[in-house]
Amino acid sequence: MTRLVPYLTVHDGAAAVAFYAAAFGARETGERYDDGTKIGFVALGIGTDVFYLSDEYHDHGAYAPATVGHSTSAVVLEVDDVDATYAAAVAAGATPDREPTEQDGERRGWLVDPFGHRWALSTPTR
């Protein structure tokens, strides 16, 4: 089996887990490894997909966008209702980047989560 699983590094793992739950309905799907102050690993599920998350560990090369000054990639999340998900993410603390609009056969909006990661939310329209 081959699959791609994003692994996000954040500056506050516990707050990130709470944000992704409130914004996107993410849930923990397995074991969480932490030392009581930092998360070393947690798997989060959204729908049928999963992504991993950890706090920063500079000795392992894990730096959050806030530390390097910008995000280096984006996560695309396909949802049933881009407008509702976009609103929920903003209400949970995301920063709007581009409001949802129709483009290229989908309705898509861009935002930045409180941890500096860029997200493109999209719903196919055809």
> What residue numbers bound the domain in which 47 lies?
7-124
Residue 54 lies in a domain: yes
Residue 27 lies in a domain: yes
Residue 1 lies in a domain: no
Q: How is the chain classified by DSSP, letter by letter?
A: ------EEEES-HHHHHHHHHHHH--EEEEEEEE-SSSEEEEEEEETTEEEEEEE-BGGGTB--HHHHTS-S-EEEEE-S-HHHHHHHHHHTTPEEEEEEEEETTEEEEEEE-TTS-EEEEEEE--
pLDDT at residue 94, rounded to an integer: 99
For the chain, the domain total comes to 1
Interval 39-84: pLDDT, tens: 999 999 999 999 999 999 999 999 999 999 999 999 999 999 999 9
Residue 12 lies in a domain: yes
Residue 30: which CATH number?
Answer: 3.10.180.10
Residue 2 lies in a domain: no
